[in-house]
Amino acid sequence: MAKKFMYLNRKAPYGTVYALESLEVVLIAAAFEQEVSLAFLDDGVYQIAKGQNPKAVGMKNFSPTYNALGDYGITKLYVERESLAERGLSEEDLMPIVYEDEDDDYAEKPSVQVISRAEMAQIMAEQDVTFSF
């Protein structure tokens, strides 16, 4: 039976390697056909911020890869509203990541869901396995 796997992302990209490591693990583990979701809270919300450009700090911009998650069957990206607000951000500051719904004539649907801290806690409680980055 498919288990519920959640990848919990709490750190900003580029300052540490956690964000990139998490993304790589997600892509590798996607082959195991489990029910996978990604959660972005605390500084992790910056991982899917629009307009990233780390050229001047000498790093690769891996943010376009989040747009490929739909191809890997990962369609649930939960973002915590309170974490955005604490940082002066809103949903408009996030990349509009979408997936194509095979069961609905490949219609593009949003992958990002901005939810409250209470809802996030609930979703965390429903997981079988949580990987923290």
Partner 1 sequence: MAMLHIVNKSPFERNTLKSCLGHALAGDSVLLIEDAVIGAVSGSSVVAELQQAINGNSISIYALGPDLTARGVKLERVLEGIQVVDYAGFVDLTVANEKTQSWL
Partner 2 sequence: MALEIGGKTIATDEEGYLENLSDWTPEVANAMAQAEEQPVTLTDEHWEIINFLREYYEEYQIAPAVRVLTKAVGKRLGADKGNSKYLYSLFPYGPGKQACKYAGLPKPTGCV
Contacting residues toward partner 1, per CB under 8 A: 11-16, 42-43, 46, 49-57, 59, 63, 86-89, 93
Q: How far is the CB of 77 from partner 2 (least distance, A)?
A: 15
Choice between 37 and 63, CB closer to partner 1? 63
CB atoms within 10 A of CB 38: 28
Q: Is 61 in the site for partner 2 (CB under 8 A)?
A: yes
- What angle is formed at CA 38 by the lines to CA 112 and CA 20, rounded to 5 degrees? 105
For residue 1, the minimal CB distance to partner 2 (Å) is 21
Find, among 78, 87, 112, the residue nearest to 8 by Cα: 78
Contact yes or no for 19/51 (Cβ under 8 A): no
Q: How many whole angstroms separate alpha carbon 58 and alpha carbon 24? A: 20
Q: Which stretch binds partner 2 (CB under 8 A): 42-50, 51-59, 68-76, 108-116?
A: 68-76
CB 31 within 8 A of CB 24: no
Residue 35 binding partner per list partner 2, partner 1, none, with a CB distance cut-off of 5 to 8 Å that depends on partner kind: none
Site for partner 2 in 93-112 (CB under 8 A): 106
Which C-beta is closer to partner 1: that of 36 or that of 112? 112
